[in-house]
Amino acid sequence: MCLAIPGKVVELKEEGKGIVDYGGVRREADLSFVNARVGDWVIVHAGFAIEILSEEEAKKTLKAFEMVLEGYEESLKEEVG
């Protein structure tokens, strides 16, 4: 199973590459499989953008990850006591 976090394309580079921002962490990704532009939200797997998402869908996905993380942190607190 693969979990992919949405990121926002902030820069286009040569040869189908671009810079994707994941909440302040920026990484280069290959955008040649999708027709992404600056401002698009993408899902990246193994360094390749594989899907373009709407901003609404990206934000829903990020919110879901946030809720899972909050639940995990809460369970850790309960274990420590």
- Write out pLDDT tens, residues 11-61: 999 999 999 999 999 999 999 999 999 999 999 999 999 999 999 999 999
- Rounded-to-integer distance, Cα 47 and Cα 60, Å: 22
Q: Establish if 58 belongs to a structural domain.
A: yes
State the pTM of this model.
0.82
Asked if the model's pLDDT at residue 81 lies above 80, the reply is: no
In terms of residue numbers, what domain contains 39? 6-80
Q: Establish if 56 belongs to a structural domain.
A: yes
Q: What is the CATH number of the domain that holds 37?
A: 2.30.30.140
Give residue 32's pLDDT.
96
**Helices and strands of the chain, counted as H and E runs:** 1, 5
Q: Establish if 68 belongs to a structural domain.
A: yes
Q: Establish if 1 belongs to a structural domain.
A: no
Find the distance separating the first CA and the last CA of the chain, reported in whole Å: 32
Number of domains in the chain: 1
Q: Establish if 34 belongs to a structural domain.
A: yes
